Amino acid sequence: MLRLLPLRRALRPTFGAQSQSTWLSTSAACAAKQQQMPSRPKPPPEDEIDEMFVKGTGPGGQKINKTNSAVQLRHIPTGIVVKSQATRSRSENRAIARGLLAARLDEIRNPDTCRTAALVASKLKKRANATKKARRKYKKLAGTDDDGGGVHEDDGEHDGEHDERDGQLAERHQREADTAAQEPGTASTQDDQGDAAAVTTK
C-alpha cells in the first residue's frame, strides 16, 4: 500500500496555466453578470401571508387532482394572490409560490429596477443582437452575390440595348447576303447574252 501512494499522486490530473486562466476568466464573467442582474427579492414576512392548500388541476395524474398539493398565497396588505402547482410536492410548491409573490411585490415597488424588468431587458437585448447579426449576415451575402455576377437593377436596360444592336447587325448581314446572292445571277445573265450575240454573228 505504501508503494502505491506515489503512483496515485502521479495519476492526479494537473491543471496548466492556460486552463487556470480560462477558469478564472469564466468565473470573472459569471461574477460580472451576477453583479449586473439584481438579486432575487425576499418574500414578505409570514404574518403578512394567508396560505391555502388546494387541489391541483390539469395534467399530472390522479395525485394532482386528489391531493391538496397546490399552494395559494394571498398578501394581506396588498391583496395580491399567487398560486403554484409546478410540482407534486407541497413543500416545493410553497417555496415557488413565495418566490412568485416576492417577484410580484418587487414589480409593484420597483417597476424600473426590479429583477423581472432586468430579465426582460436582457432577453430583448439578446433578441436584438441576434436580429442585427442575422441582418448583417444576409446583407453581406447579398453584397457578395451582386459583386459575383448577381442580378442588377440595370440588367433590363443593358439587355434591351444588346437586343437592338443584335437586330441591327442581323439586318446588315441579311442585306449583304442578299447583295452577294444577286451579283452572281447578274453576271451569269450577262454571259448568256454575250453567248447569244456571238451565235447570231456566226
Contacts of 155 (CB under 8 A, 6+ apart): none
Model confidence pLDDT, tens digit, residues 67-114:
788 899 999 999 999 999 888 888 999 999 999 999 999 888 888 888
Q: What is the pLDDT of residue 71?
A: 92
pLDDT bin (cut points 50, 70, 90) of residue 57 is confident
Ordered domains of the chain (ranges, CATH): 46-109 (3.30.160.20)
**Mean pLDDT value across the chain:** 72
Contact predicate 40/110, CB 8 Å: no
Enter the C-alpha cell of residue 72.
395559494
Q: What is the mean pLDDT of residues 123-151?
A: 78
**Confidence at residue 185, expressed as pLDDT on a 0 to 100 scale:** 47
Per DSSP (E only), the strands in the chain are 49-54, 70-75, 81-84
Lowest-pLDDT range of 49-58, 81-90, 163-172, 179-188:
179-188
Nearest to 74 by CA among 42, 110, 41, 98: 98
